[in-house]
Amino acid sequence: MDQDEASTTVDNIVTQFNTYEDFLDSQITTLDLYYLEDEGLARQLVELGYRGTGEVVRREDFEARKAAIEIARLAERTQKNDFCLCTFEACKSLASFTFSCFCKH
């Protein structure tokens, strides 16, 4: 799998699930829970790539991509509507990402 395919796969996973735990849970079967008897352990096995029915995605990659998609969505919405949807505090928090805020503070 090349870089673009991997990125597209992560994007699809991130848009499909609200949280990383939801993604991990989607990879766990009832049979896994029957034998393991521990949801936390089942999640760890999926996270490490030892168990699961799909792609292995690290928590850091999931959360970073989720944040980037949300920032891009807000930026597009702000430009489209030509008004600010965030507070000054939100603008300051965006400074840690590669995207810039489009607000005029």
Task: Identify whether 104 is part of a domain.
Answer: no
Question: What pLDDT is attached to residue 98?
Answer: 47
Q: Tens-of-pLDDT digits for all 105 residues of the chain?
A: 566 666 777 888 888 999 999 999 999 999 999 999 999 999 999 999 888 767 788 999 899 999 988 898 888 877 765 545 555 555 555 554 444 555 554
Residues in CB range of 90: below 8 A, 6 or more apart: 101
Q: In angstroms, rounded to a whole number, what is the distance separating the alpha carbons of residues 35 and 70?
A: 37
Task: Identify whether 92 is part of a domain.
Answer: no
Question: What pLDDT is attached to residue 104?
Answer: 52
pTM as predicted: 0.65
Question: What pLDDT is attached to residue 105?
Answer: 47
Residue 42's nearest CA partner among 56, 25, 66, 58 is: 25
What SS3 state is found at 30? helix
Question: What pLDDT is attached to residue 4?
Answer: 67
Q: Into how many domains does the chain fold?
A: 1
What is the domain extent for residue 24?
4-83
